[in-house]
Structure 1
Amino acid sequence: MDTILKVQNIEKYYGNKGNVMKAIDNISFEVERGEYIGIMGASGSGKTTLLNCISTIDTVTSGHIFINDQDITSLKSKKLSKFRREQLGFIFQDFNLLDTLTAYENIALALTIMNIPAGEIHQRVHEVADKLMITSVLNKFPYQISGGQKQRVASARAIVTNPSLILADEPTGALDSKSAKMLLESMETLNQEMQATILMVTHDAFTASYCKKILFIKDGKIFTELIRGNDTRKQFFNQIIEIVALLGGDNSDVI
């Protein structure tokens, strides 16, 4: 198997000597190329801190994180920025599109920074836009398109650089149910047709049911994992709900 991400015994502490909080408590796991993994847990469980450490937004207190065998916990600022730009793709809850750029320009920006030739940029932007069914909005500005279209533009921006790993933080959190379903189907397409490796934090069981595997976090530790296998999405959804109940969560928060 081709291991993209290897998390080894990471811990994360916040606070000072008088008031220390352990957000991540000795977590280890691996992600293989082409996997689509969800991370779930109650508020305060450590799931967002975990994603922030993997995404290099935050740093670990101890342990190591390897992406393509590169120990990102040892990279300094300049090399870390380059690594983040070339190896990681991000999908945020609030889109993070630049209002003064068209959808096309938002998607193309990272390629432009990487000095990709204009002809190749055009081809790659249109290929990913076609996959995500947003070709018709490429010449529009973010204020001219719907929330669902904005999030698919953000998804296109995340995948267009061919990153090793896509990190999604509550990607459906700001969307209505119809837009969320369209986005999740688009992310499924990225995973199945473009072999995108996706790691997604979500509190929502419906969103999580599109994943192939779920890691459940409790009190900064991995509580359990759930693999979809050959189950239907509905069967997987029901299993997710059962584990949420075991975690002591409120089902109304995850449906």
Structure 2
Amino acid sequence: MKTVLQVQNMEKYYGNKGNVTKAVDGISFDVEKGEYIGIMGASGSGKTTLLNCISTIDRVTSGHIFIDGMDVTKLKGKHLSKFRREQLGFIFQDFNLLDTLTAYENIALALTIMKTPAKEIDERVKSIAEKLMITKELSKYPYQLSGGQKQRVASARAMVTDPSLILADEPTGALDSKSARMLLDSMETMNAELHATILMVTHDAFTASYCKRILFIKDGKIFNELVRGRDSRKEFFDRIIEVVTLLGGDSTNVF
């Protein structure tokens, strides 16, 4: 199996010599192609900092992050921008769709920037829209879409370039329960049928139960790891809650 992501002894500090906060403290882990990984942890545990460094939005203090064999901690300027555009897909809590573009145009934008031929753009946008069940929404503008539809458009935008890694930051955080379930079903389809490699930060045990493996972060370090294996989603959810309890609370107020 191909290793898509390697995090090697990553550390991230904030502050100065007199007041240093170690947000991420020597974390190492690998993600194989086609894995669906969740990252959970209390507020301030370092999970968002970890995601920001992997996504190249923030820079590490020390250690290395390899994505598809490329050490992204060494990339700068236009090389970093090109890598981020071509190799990473992003799904944000607040959608980040452009209001002046239709759903179709939002999804196609990255391919347009990459100078993909128009016929190929059309084929790829329509193909991913069909898989995520948003074909009827392609001509609509964001203000005409529900929260769940917006997030599936955002998911299609993340997938359409066929990135090495999709990074999702609290993707269900702004959705009602029905829309959240539809999005999670769509992400499960992306993972199972399109072999998308997904790394998702979430505070919610139900959302995390869709993952195949979960890393729990505490005080900047990996506290525990769960692998779903042959468990049903309900069985995996129950195991997640057990770890949440070990961390000192429940899924609604710890994560």
TM-score in terms of structure 2 length: 0.99
Tell me how far apart the structure 1 counterparts of residues 250 and 23 of structure 2 sit (CA, whole Å): 21
**1:137-176 matched pairs, under 5 angstroms:** 137-176=137-176
Structure 1 match to 2:208? 208
**Matched residue pairs, number?**
255
Tell me which stretches of 4 or more aligned residues in structure 1 moved more than 3 Å: none
Aligned with 1:251: secondary structure?
A: coil
Structure 1 match to 2:44? 44
Aligned with 1:6: secondary structure?
A: strand
How far did 1:171 drift? 0.1
Tell me how far apart the structure 1 counterparts of residues 79 and 2 of structure 2 sit (CA, whole Å): 24
How far did 1:7 drift? 0.3
How far did 1:173 drift? 0.1
How far did 1:232 drift? 0.3
Structure 1 match to 2:89? 89
Tell me how far apart the structure 2 counterparts of residues 252 and 31 of structure 1 sit (CA, whole Å): 27
How far did 1:247 drift? 1.1
Tell me how far apart the structure 2 counterparts of residues 156 and 89 of structure 1 sit (CA, whole Å): 9
Aligned with 1:243: secondary structure?
A: helix
Tell me how far apart the structure 2 counterparts of residues 251 and 107 of structure 1 sit (CA, whole Å): 33
How far did 1:254 drift? 6.4
How far did 1:96 drift? 0.1
Structure 2 match to 1:121? 121
Structure 1 match to 2:228? 228
Identity %: 79
How far did 1:252 drift? 2.7
**1:11-22 matched pairs, under 5 angstroms:** 11-22=11-22
Does the 8 A contact of 2:12 with 2:25 survive in 1?
A: yes
Does the 8 A contact of 1:34 with 1:198 survive in 2?
A: yes
Structure 1 match to 2:65? 65
Task: Kindly provide the amino acid, as one letter, of the partner of residue 93 in structure 1.
Answer: Q
Tell me how far apart the structure 2 counterparts of residues 79 and 245 of structure 1 sit (CA, whole Å): 43
Task: Say whether 1:130 aligns with 2:116.
Answer: no
**1:103-114 matched pairs, under 5 angstroms:** 103-114=103-114
Aligned with 2:252: secondary structure?
A: helix
CA RMSD of aligned residues (A): 0.9
How far did 1:78 drift? 1.1
- In the alignment, structure 1 segments of 5+ residues that lack a partner are none
Structure 2 match to 1:241? 241
Tell me how far apart the structure 1 counterparts of residues 3 and 251 of structure 2 sit (CA, whole Å): 34
How far did 1:253 drift? 2.8
Tell me how far apart the structure 1 counterparts of residues 204 and 251 of structure 2 sit (CA, whole Å): 9
Aligned with 2:179: secondary structure?
A: helix
Tell me how far apart the structure 2 counterparts of residues 52 and 156 of structure 1 sit (CA, whole Å): 21
- In the alignment, structure 2 segments of 5+ residues that lack a partner are none
Tell me how far apart the structure 2 counterparts of residues 233 and 250 of structure 1 sit (CA, whole Å): 18
Task: Kindly provide the amino acid, as one letter, of the partner of residue 14 in structure 1.
Answer: Y
TM-score in terms of structure 1 length: 0.99
Aligned with 1:168: secondary structure?
A: strand
Tell me how far apart the structure 2 counterparts of residues 156 and 253 of structure 1 sit (CA, whole Å): 31
How far did 1:17 drift? 1.1
Does the 8 A contact of 2:170 with 2:202 survive in 1?
A: yes
